[in-house]
Amino acid sequence: MNKIIVFGIFFLFNSFLIMAQKTPITKVVADKSSKIPLDKVSVYNEKDNSLTNEEGVFSFISDRDDINFSLIGYEDLKTSLQQIKNQDTIFLQSKMVELDEVVVGQELAMLKKAYAKLKENYILEPYHENFFLRCVLKRDNELSRLQDIYGKVSRKSIFKTKSQPDNKCEVEVLNMRKVGISEKSDIVYFKFQSFEKLFDLNTLIFIVLDKFELTQQKNIAGDYLKINFVSKEPNTMGQKTNGHFVINRADYAIVETYFDFYDDPEKVPYSKDGKAEYRTSSFKRTTNYKKNTSVGKYYLNNANSDVKVELLGNEKIKTAIYDYSTQYFVTNSFIAEKAKSNLSMDKDIFKVKYPYSEQFWKSQNQLPLTSELKDFLKKVSDNKENKKEFEIVGNF
């Protein structure tokens, strides 16, 4: 059966070392005062990186004993695996300024200075890194696809520049697990983005300054600046882009970017592909940069994207809401080995083929399955023989 392709615009993570590793740990990071779990806490040492999820949970594996915890607005914590081995929860002390005051005046000069220092703060020449990527698709709040990729990427530069206008990357997939389930009666296929699109969106850092209103926010730690921005005029779809930059006061490096591209989704017109009409009603992305102390340059540590696509129903197609998310996470930055490309950069990521390694996915401990994902895999397993009603695609 021919399938109608619905294009969803657009979305963690690490290097896995097999030999000489200690027992992996899994714990929770929370705010010391409120006891609320903290998302996107960077967990790392000089060799390895991990990240907490929305429940504050992280998994970490390394052949070193030292371990550090870092999150903007909190005191850095430097400790060891030995010291925290008997702790279920690690607490971080907030150093946020509890004010909602907005200061107007110097935002433009601050952001111009940050842009002027990009060459000094970031690597604008070829480099390589290891990563994990997780892509998740839900249809009407029901999981329908999961794809985890561990690999290596070689970049010409961290950003597109005048000297590197294309910034083509090469990706080598080293391990992958993917599975998708859909009803046989569903004639719609949701197209994942390509690696080329993913990398372009992950490193989006520039805005045309004269087209945005800027304000400085003061509810952030004193060693950082937070500059909010919003489009002065709506785009052709009637939308205003808004977001923020977080800038390190010490060196004017932009350490976090947030973009929200849709402020009034009801104004977005539907596009048509075959007999299907659809529109993107939400698209948000966050990127965090971290400094590699040995190299003295910032790299893209993690990037998350969330997209919502509305499918308009008709006599053949059911109305549906698709939620698509990607989480990209670098485990080892500035590695020596170049990626040996084994895929097409412009290809739908879910169409990428690579054999499943049960040993790898049972051993790695930096991209754990959540309870929701475990339930999804059980659903797939329970229906794998039910070929009359379900179509299952995967490599394991």
Q: Which residue has the tokens 């009034």?
A: 264
Could you give the 3-state DSSP secondary structure of residue 368?
coil
Burial class (CB in 10 A: 0-12, 13-18, 19+), 191: middle
Query: What does the alpha-carbon distance between residue 72 and residue 85 come to, in Å, rounded to a whole number?
Result: 25
What is the mean pLDDT of the segment spanning 338-351? 95
Q: For residue 284, is pLDDT > 60?
A: yes
Model pLDDT, residue 16 = 33
Question: Quick one: how far is CA 84 from the chain centroid?
Answer: 27
Model pLDDT, residue 97 = 59
Model pLDDT, residue 10 = 36
Could you give the 3-state DSSP secondary structure of residue 347?
coil
Strand pairing report for 271-273 and 254-260:
unpaired
Model pLDDT, residue 248 = 93
Of residues 365 and 258, the one with the higher pLDDT is: 258
SS (H, E, C) 120-172: HHECCCCEEEEEEEEEEEEECCEEEEEEEEEEEEEECCCCCCCCCCCCCCEEE
Question: Where is 324: in which H helix or E strand?
Answer: strand 320-333
Model pLDDT, residue 37 = 93
At residue 326's C-alpha, the angle toward residues 138 and 50, to 5°, is: 125
Which tens digits make up the pLDDT trace of 173-192? Answer: 999 999 999 988 888 899 99
Q: Count how many residues are written for the chain.
A: 396
pTM: 0.85
What secondary structure does DSSP assign to 205-233, as a single string? Answer: ----GGGEEEEEE-SS-TTEEEEEEEESS
Q: For residue 102, is pLDDT > 70?
A: no
Q: Which long-range contacts (CB under 8 A, 24 or more apart) does 153-157 make?
A: 153/128, 153/129, 153/199, 153/339, 154/126, 154/127, 154/128, 154/338, 154/339, 155/126, 155/127, 155/128, 155/129, 155/199, 156/125, 156/126, 157/123, 157/124, 157/125, 157/126
Percent pLDDT > 90 in the chain is 59
Which tens digits make up the pLDDT trace of 246-272? Answer: 999 999 999 999 999 999 999 999 998
Q: Select the highest-mean-pLDDT range: 109-113, 159-163, 366-370, 383-387.
A: 109-113
Q: Which residue has the tokens 């998350």?
A: 304
The DSSP bridge partners found for residue 342 are none
Q: Count of CB atoms within 10 A of residue 225's CB?
A: 23
Q: Which of 228, 256, 13, 281 is nearest to 107 (CA)?
A: 228
Which tens digits make up the pLDDT trace of 27-68? Answer: 999 999 899 999 888 898 887 888 888 788 888 888 888 999
Least confident of 14-18, 94-98, 156-160, 290-294: 14-18
Of residues 244 and 223, the one with the higher pLDDT is: 244
Q: For residue 100, is pLDDT > 60?
A: no
